[in-house]
Structure 1
Amino acid sequence: MHPATPPTTGTPAVPVHRTPVRRRRLIRGMLAAVVALPLVLGAAGCGGDEDASTDPNAPVKLSVFWWGGEARAKLTEEALALYTKKHPNVTFEKTWQANQGYFDKLATLTAGGNPPDLFQIDDNYLAEYASRSTTLDLTPYKDSGDLDVSKFPKSLWQYGVVDGKLAGLASGENTQGLVYNKTLLTKNGLPEPTTGMTWEEHIAWAEQVAKKTKVPGTQDPSADYKAFWVWLRQQGKDLYKGRELGFTAEDVTKWFDLWKGARDRGATPTPDVIHEGNATDITKQLVVTGKAGTSWVWVNQMPELKKNTKDELGVIAYPGDPSAQWARASMYWSVFKGSKHKDVAVDVINFLANDPEAVKILGTDRGLPSNLDLRRVVSDDVTDPAMKQSIQVESDLAQKFGEAPQVPLKGHSKVRAELIKAAENAQYGRISSAQAAEQFIAACKSAIA
């Protein structure tokens, strides 16, 4: 269950940032040492936690690695500088790059024995890195309160759990959004789509739009794993179940056939245009290039879409029961299990999520703040109308969200790519829906093996 939207007035009472976890553990360790001095003397040769045995004021340098553009880099560097201001002995070696090639670089650093202390990751790779024992289990820090998730939606922090271990802390929240061209509809006297429409109702609506405007009503999302995943959950299935796929070839066939019917009715673009939507980035989605009335995106991508069109855009949940959607971690912060300063690294990610000044600096760049009290503060400061729209829609949907699914398995990125390949084979009519589904299942099983 998700808490209700925070009150609209007043400033939330947020505790001041506490003594760094490393120092607190040192104090507890000193007290324990006094009580158990004979035991300590008897075990003088035993090793201990490297963080806990060091001077809490000794210099610490943490390496941090993330992806994003210059705007994200500026905000992140400013927030890390604030941490250093409050903890002068801690400094950062910062590295960032564009999303493309990021995980290749992270894999190289990890394989070379030189991974960053702190790194950004998403749900496409979290299980993979956790299964390699690359990520530190944050559960003990959460249980002790050193990593505070008390103000997070429960399903948001739980979406970082892999095999019973908390592998990453959500740096922000996001969910799926169906974006539509409101100007096109208004100009032609057509109704706007609404949350709760069935998939069949959505396709019928899109067909109506196409007939009236000559613009296909909706992008065909049969290659979009986000849409497929939501649809599966509405059928009582899921993308993954334990260490296996959560769906069958019959499910995939039904999904592909649903959209074949939509294409046959002219509700979607032609395969070449559908492919264009599949292959381009967010700035060239069909809803902003005028080649379809809707696009299937993440809610927090509204501002980027809006920059690329003069038309007014609207956004709602995907078709069907909205409880199939969930509070998805837009991305995570993870700590390298072998970090020499793991306690300090955990304290940094706790700071980035829960310190009022840091959260205001970071804003909505990585999604809506995970801390619900601070989310309201940040929302009040947002001036971009498209981002305000995103925040409002996600706040409304938060009251309808269901339980989070398990974090995707290792090989998820390959599963996503194989869905595009299979869907496009069906879209172009190269093979039947059933044949495409069988090929997809076989490729998926190989990817997650």
Structure 2
Amino acid sequence: MTNPMTASHPQPLRRVLGGVVAAMLALPLALGACGTDDGGQATGDGKVELSFFWWGGEARAQLTEQALALYTSKHPNVTFKKTWQANQGYFDKLATLTAGNDAPDIFQIDDNYLAEYATRNVTADLSEYTKSGKLDTSKFQKGLVEYGTVDGKLAGLAMGENTQGLVFNKAKLDAAGVAVPKTGQTWEEHIAWAKDAAVKTKLAGTMDPSADYKAFWVWLRQNGKEFYNGKELGFTQEDVQKWFELWKGARDTQATPSPDVIHEGNATDVTKQLVVTNKALTSWVWANQLPELQKNTKDDLGVIAYPGDASKQWARASMYFSVYRGSKNKDVAADVLNFLANDPEAGKILGTDRGLPSNLDIRTQVAATTDNAAMKESIQVTTELGKNFGPAPTVPPKGHSTVRSELIKAAEEAQYGRATPQKAAEQFFTAAQAAIKR
């Protein structure tokens, strides 16, 4: 299935009618409708029913329902009206609910849309609960809390952490007698390594990540820039051109796959990345996706940081839970979030489904009890990198999902040779400026 931590969602304010139909068809009938007119129900006997909305597959649904059932067992006056669906159509449905003042009390969101919903005053400011201690983030990476803050308000509680990860095929490298890549190599050293590895293994050394926004973002930070400065782009057209030229050089030396295979890597979900389909020795993903990748290949995989200065990576919230600003039961909703993030029993149930647990103590517990070797490694790598994380960037502004798709379009123009790096950079920069100003 497509990994919901990195999936690109459609713009929530477009194609609303079509999105609603698709979303409603996707909603499991047994789960009922999402939200209530007053943002949650409270009866005269003190009982509260909270509406809870998330996306994901059946496995996530089962884990989430188990964790919520555990909360109810400890707080019998609180029950949940649960709704979940697949990725597609989720944000169209959420946009419709919020437009009708019928949003769920608690809903899942990611950094593609957090700023948009926060600036539209859809999300409650959770910082009042963190200041009072009712919502404990003391065991979180500092950057993980910062990455949920929009205009000084905590718009979402991070329910999982990830960071950029370069996953490599250890088995094939060992078999060919090629040294595995190491954290700290420069970008040029990585490309040189990939060229050598390609010669010795007869496989492309590295996926071409020029269309990957997170790789570009890390490279920018290492060069003293940001992807965004507030609601403006933090880079120039010349920066994009240098990035595209770097990877044209890699393609010219055959360190990367052919354009058609690169396109396949750009377009497929995490289960079909090139490191899994044996079309490249590395894939540029999130470190916490290692277990999902490992499930889809018999080869032993490893994960390291992206090339360059690893301290320029950051604790990124894989996804958040937000509370509806119009909910009549915000205090109870905040307590539920505190429970899901910090209760050891809930942490054991949820595991790493939404990313590595934000609470570092819970993360240690999960690492100690899981028998999944890839999960252990991804937790170890992310935790080790976390010791040197720099400040988190600001949450991406409205239009970020469009910027991501425009980068893929422009990069593929260069990858296929239909445009020079200069022309492709101009195409992307113009489209990206328009997207965040729209």
TM-score, shorter chain, exceeding 0.5? yes
Among 255, 267, 277, the residue aligned to 1:289: 277
Q: C-alpha distance in 1, partners of 2:86/2:287?
A: 21
Among 51, 55, 58, the residue aligned to 1:67: 55
- 2:312–2:389 contact (8 Å) kept in structure 1: yes
Question: Shift of the alpha carbon at 1:401?
Answer: 1.1
Q: C-alpha distance in 1, partners of 2:46/2:304?
A: 51
Which protein shows a greater Rg?
Answer: 1
Say how many residue pairs are matched. 398
Is 1:101 the counterpart of 2:89 in the alignment? Answer: yes
Residue aligning to 1:255: 243
Residue aligning to 1:83: 71
Question: Shift of the alpha carbon at 1:112?
Answer: 2.6
Is 1:370 the counterpart of 2:342 in the alignment? Answer: no
Q: C-alpha distance in 2, partners of 1:104/1:270?
A: 36
Alignment-mate amino acid for residue 82 of structure 1? L
Is 1:155 the counterpart of 2:143 in the alignment? Answer: yes
Alignment-mate amino acid for residue 342 of structure 1? K
When structure 1 is superposed on structure 2, of 369-378 and 66-75 the one drifting more is 369-378
Q: C-alpha distance in 2, partners of 1:375/1:428?
A: 43
Is 1:226 the counterpart of 2:218 in the alignment? Answer: no
Question: Shift of the alpha carbon at 1:100?
Answer: 2.1
Q: C-alpha distance in 2, partners of 1:379/1:212?
A: 35
Q: C-alpha distance in 2, partners of 1:118/1:193?
A: 42
Among 327, 332, 357, the residue aligned to 1:339: 327
Among 97, 100, 118, the residue aligned to 1:112: 100
- 2:363–2:379 contact (8 Å) kept in structure 1: no
Alignment-mate amino acid for residue 275 of structure 1? H
- 2:213–2:407 contact (8 Å) kept in structure 1: yes
Q: C-alpha distance in 1, partners of 2:327/2:164?
A: 34
- 2:184–2:307 contact (8 Å) kept in structure 1: yes
Residue aligning to 2:416: 428
The 3-state SS of whatever aligns with 2:82 is strand
Q: C-alpha distance in 2, partners of 1:98/1:277?
A: 22
Residue aligning to 1:383: 371
Question: Shift of the alpha carbon at 1:202?
Answer: 0.1
Q: C-alpha distance in 1, partners of 2:359/2:81?
A: 26
Residue aligning to 1:128: 116
Residue aligning to 2:182: 194
Question: Shift of the alpha carbon at 1:57?
Answer: 5.9
Question: Shift of the alpha carbon at 1:55?
Answer: 8.6
Q: C-alpha distance in 2, partners of 1:385/1:57?
A: 48
The 3-state SS of whatever aligns with 1:407 is coil
- TM-score relative to the length of structure 2: 0.89
**CA offset digits 1:97-156 (Å, max 9, x no partner):** 112221122112212321111000011110011111100011111111111111111111
Change (3 A) 1:222 1:133: same
Among 342, 349, 355, the residue aligned to 1:361: 349
Question: Shift of the alpha carbon at 1:367?
Answer: 1.1
**Consecutive unaligned residues in structure 1, runs of 5 or more:** 1-49
Question: Shift of the alpha carbon at 1:56?
Answer: 9.6
Q: C-alpha distance in 1, partners of 2:412/2:92?
A: 26
Residue aligning to 2:130: 142
Alignment-mate amino acid for residue 283 of structure 1? T
The 3-state SS of whatever aligns with 1:334 is strand
Alignment-mate amino acid for residue 253 of structure 2? R
Q: C-alpha distance in 2, partners of 1:329/1:113?
A: 27
The 3-state SS of whatever aligns with 1:179 is strand
> RMSD of the alignment, in Å?
1.4
**CA offset digits 1:296-325 (Å, max 9, x no partner):** 011111111111111111110000000011
Among 200, 206, 220, the residue aligned to 2:194: 206
Question: Shift of the alpha carbon at 1:356?
Answer: 1.6
Residue aligning to 1:179: 167
Residue aligning to 1:23: none
Change (3 A) 1:185 1:400: same
Alignment-mate amino acid for residue 114 of structure 2? L
Residue aligning to 1:395: 383
**CA offset digits 1:365-397 (Å, max 9, x no partner):** 111111112221121111111111111111111
Question: Shift of the alpha carbon at 1:277?
Answer: 0.4
Alignment-mate amino acid for residue 347 of structure 1? D
Q: C-alpha distance in 2, partners of 1:306/1:373?
A: 25
Runs of 4+ in structure 1 over 2 Å off: 54-57
**CA offset digits 1:51-88 (Å, max 9, x no partner):** 9xx89961111100011111111111011011111111
Residue aligning to 1:58: 46
- TM-score relative to the length of structure 1: 0.87
Alignment-mate amino acid for residue 71 of structure 1? A
Residue aligning to 1:264: 252
The 3-state SS of whatever aligns with 1:65 is strand
